[in-house]
Amino acid sequence: MNDLTMNLILAAVVIIPGVILLAYYFSVVKSKKPGWYHKKIHGILVRYGVIRNYKILQDVNLEINGKKAHFDHMLIGFFGILVVTPLDRRGSYYGEARSQTWAFDDGKFKNPMPNLAAEYENSTALLRSLFSQHGIYKIGMEQVFVLEANEKKSASYLGGDITVLRINKLGSYLEKTKFDQDKDVDVETITKLISENACRT
């Protein structure tokens, strides 16, 4: 075995494990981090919204008259408000829009979890009460849940009027004409009102 062959073998021994570890990091470790997942959703909303003069808010917490509300991602446009809720745990989600609770199965255990659709309804009711205090009514609101792209890693068995998308389909979903409709929503006023009343964390 000559020196060139030996050097190539040694290089392969060093490089191949490194490439495998790097691929594992990006495909598994990084994708498990909620922060990374939220950043990806935020980036999709920003790319869509900025050119339309829409506003994007994230991690919004409100507390009004002792009641609390939380929104992971909000796209505020002339059409109204789209709330995007990540389903960022790897496993299967089960439930109905009106179920008392949902269930999550990580492949080992199936445990109850909060009904995120019901939480959204409570949160939007609180948000509408804030709007009404300032003479703002009839703002259209919609929620969509987002799963990661890999169908082998996560699944939704959520029934009823629950919209669930893969994250790689969120961009095309935003291209629906309903999000370009002008329903005379004052984007700047709505955004300012939400931001001014958001809890500081």
Contact 28, 77 (CB under 8 A): no
User: In whole angstroms, what is the distance from residue 117 CA to residue 91 CA?
Assistant: 18
Q: What is the pLDDT of residue 35?
A: 78
pTM for this predicted structure:
0.81
Q: Which residues pair with 89 in a beta bridge?
A: none
201 residues of the chain, pLDDT tens digit each: 555 555 444 544 445 544 433 343 343 434 444 578 889 999 999 999 999 999 999 999 998 888 899 999 999 999 999 999 999 899 999 999 999 999 999 999 999 999 999 999 999 999 999 999 999 999 999 999 999 888 888 999 999 789 999 999 999 999 999 999 999 999 999 999 999 999 865
| pLDDT score, position 3 | 55
Number of neighbours of residue 87 by Cβ within 10 angstroms: 22
Q: Looking at residue 188, what is its pLDDT?
A: 97
One-character DSSP codes across 78-118: TTEEEEEEE--SSSEEEE-TT-S-EEEE-SS-EEEE--HHH
Rounded distance, CA 126 to CA 64, Å?
7
Contact between 56 and 75 (Cβ < 8 Å): yes
Separation between Cα atoms, residue 65 and residue 187, nearest integer Å: 25
Give the pLDDT of residue 165: 96
Q: Which residues, other chains included, contact 196 with Cβ-Cβ below 8 Å and sequence gap of 6+?
A: none
d(CA 155, CA 163): 13
